[in-house]
Structure 1
């Protein structure tokens, strides 16, 4: 095999620990010389995490898929408060709102995740307007530092922790054949799958989950959005579907669709997961049933223009109808 590729690794500091979030955040605020911190969070734990820094303002206007109107209000608050640093404490929607502010202001972000969403490790932003989600990439939205603290995911309900972990798995799987995939991000994705599958099978192993989620996001940031993410982003924006649960439901069906066209990648995925994806889902109690899409034909028409030309196999509107129909009514689903 002769390799020829161009790989970009995004520059970012990571602080990882258990019970260390407040100290690590304070250290980063001091290192960055920030004086006016805008905290973006709708979570009670934010008070504990930010207890050792001075907070100029708090934005709690967090909503899934980052509606444009929420972003505009948050941007206005950043200007009014004279913010020189953004600190997000929460899941993907919280990080996403911080990114929306950074996109137009250039303010740096320190992200403190409380789920396994992975947005904190990517330069990808998303905004929703009139039921249409627009995504893009811009290095201005990449958090300068991520503060991981395993205690911050301890309060996640089991069902949400599983869905969030499977969302991270989706970053890994998509990275195996996304538009900019290469051997480096495939290696990161496969190690991410190993860590996440271990963590999912061992409730309470939050170190493996956070480690895997970070690797998944780094791989995704390099490889780009593949078919899975294009489907889920369109569905999420059009029908206001829950992010992690939608990714969890769609992933097995995209893998079943693409896998036969790339048998080597499919075999590596199965080895990393320690078996089939559906078997893992059944073992940990993840749902592969898609809910909340009222018209699969309409959904397929909306998704089709976003399908990456580099997908391992050609995708037609009929293929998308079949895939989404299977996701709504998988064999043996409960």
Structure 2
């Protein structure tokens, strides 16, 4: 076996049906007394319900989180934090809300709790992506990692099937990059494979029956594993492209991951045979290579398969290619602007994934 380094991240996870009832205990366990509850505008009602459960432990509510964590929204939230005297944050929702909690933690070093209501998985990473003036930048730091995460599958029952599908595919993308990351290791690979396996089986079941409790539980379990994978290893071409596309064109985060993932897998497949074998096992029975099977999975669960369909302008393809190669992430297969442009163009049109260099 090849030598490796594995460093476990110090985040506490409470998982299971009814886990929300333990949230007050988790607040007390952190030694804080006045949490600022964070949410997006659509999640305000859920956040208010949870705030009522916590009673005097809540200092206030800020329901202004949005996609891609714009820095001006963070500054507004920091003003509320100071006004209320909060000594911790509690993010209720998906990646947008979790991102705001991370941005506050980066600036203040205050503790964070997260109650996920989607399958984003970002609550398990010490990674923060922020947008300013149309440019998205990322950083990694232990201060960004939430201290505690309470996973209650009951909170995902109201997540529409379509959003469940794109959110789950977003999580799968985290695990896929972990399988071929430069700093991958056997522990992360096991987590990645099982995370993909859980989500690939659960998402079609959720689309068939959004009230399927077992499928909801398996999907949330898979999202946790996939998020933990991303938190343990570095990112590669897929995440670079999604950061560029999301930050530059304000594309919906999860949908962008769902569209781009099969195309990056097709590009990286020749350079990552072990990762493709693990992905093939995780996706279960089916015909075709992993890239095609991921493309079919997205179609089967009703997720978008074209960047054009989620709002990207045709004249943005060249700009995205330029930005992707300007400050590239490590990738198992080297790439140049022509290869990246071909990949983006295929994803824009919604074509079946193939190696753009073939």
Asked if TM exceeds 0.5, the reply is: yes
> Helix, strand or coil: the match of 1:52?
helix
Contact map agreement 2:182 2:234 (CA 8 A) in 1: yes
Alignment partner for residue 298 of structure 1, among 313, 319, 324?
319
Within-5 A mapping of 1:264-303: 264-274=274-284, 275=286, 276-291=293-308, 292-294=311-313, 295-303=316-324
Gaps of 5+ in 2: 207-211, 287-292, 354-358
Residue matched to 2:88: 85
CA–CA separation in structure 1 for the residues paired with 2:260 and 2:53: 41
Number of residues paired by the alignment? 330
> Helix, strand or coil: the match of 2:53?
coil
CA–CA separation in structure 1 for the residues paired with 2:275 and 2:144: 31
Aligned-residue offset at 1:259: 0.9
Residue matched to 2:289: none
CA gap 1:129/1:219 in 2 versus in 1, 3 angstroms: same
Alignment partner for residue 127 of structure 2, among 120, 124, 144?
124
Contact map agreement 2:123 2:145 (CA 8 A) in 1: yes
Aligned-residue offset at 1:281: 2.5
Alignment partner for residue 33 of structure 2, among 32, 35, 44?
35
CA–CA separation in structure 2 for the residues paired with 1:232 and 1:104: 25
CA–CA separation in structure 1 for the residues paired with 2:19 and 2:271: 45
CA gap 1:211/1:306 in 2 versus in 1, 3 angstroms: farther
Aligned-residue offset at 1:48: 2.2
Within-5 A mapping of 1:130-149: 130-149=133-152
CA–CA separation in structure 1 for the residues paired with 2:37 and 2:118: 17
Task: Give TM-score scaled by structure 2 length.
Answer: 0.89
**Coordinate RMSD, CA, aligned:** 1.5
Aligned-residue offset at 1:10: 0.3
CA–CA separation in structure 2 for the residues paired with 1:156 and 1:52: 21
CA–CA separation in structure 1 for the residues paired with 2:317 and 2:230: 27
Within-5 A mapping of 1:188-227: 188-203=191-206, 204=212, 205-227=215-237
Residue matched to 2:209: none
> Helix, strand or coil: the match of 1:7?
coil
Task: Give TM-score scaled by structure 1 length.
Answer: 0.95
Runs of 4+ in 1 over 3 A off after TM superposition: 330-333
Bigger share in helix: 2
Gaps of 5+ in 1: none
> Helix, strand or coil: the match of 1:181?
coil
1:171 maps to 2:190? no
